[in-house]
Amino acid sequence: MLWRLVGKITSIASAPTTVEWYIARDAAGDHAVTALAETAIILGDTDATDGGVSEELGYRWETLDGGTAGSLWVVASLDTGTCDLLPEIVWSAP
């Protein structure tokens, strides 16, 4: 599968410029499914407190079973500041 993370950002404060994020099997982020990606925040044209991020994470096949079946989590942190991030996991078969 080709994995992509897409995020809508609102309420940007104290000038963050990048998001570090990855997909994990658990809410704590202990079991990563993808590599860590550092992605630049693209600020909105009309509102500097809104923006977005998008990162292609490459191809990887992962079988989720047991207690993690059906659950994927986005784990994210900013270089500085705060914001609200609404992430989406997008994938497609090659």
Read off the pLDDT of residues 36-78 as tens digits, 9 standing for 90 and up. 999 999 999 999 999 999 999 887 666 666 665 678 899 999 9
Distances in whole angstroms, Cα of residue 91 to Cα of each of 23, 34, 94: 12, 12, 10
Query: Could you state, in order of their start, the residue ranges of all structural domains in the chain?
Result: 2-92
Report how far residue 93's alpha carbon sits from residue 87's, in angstroms, rounded to the nearest whole number: 20
Residues in the chain: 94
CA angle 24, 15, 38 (to 5 degrees): 30
Backbone angles phi, psi at 17, to 5 degrees: -120, -20
Pairing relationship of beta strands 42-43 and 51-59 according to DSSP bridges? antiparallel
Share of the chain above pLDDT 70, in %: 87
How would residue 87 be classed by pLDDT, with cut points 50, 70 and 90? very high
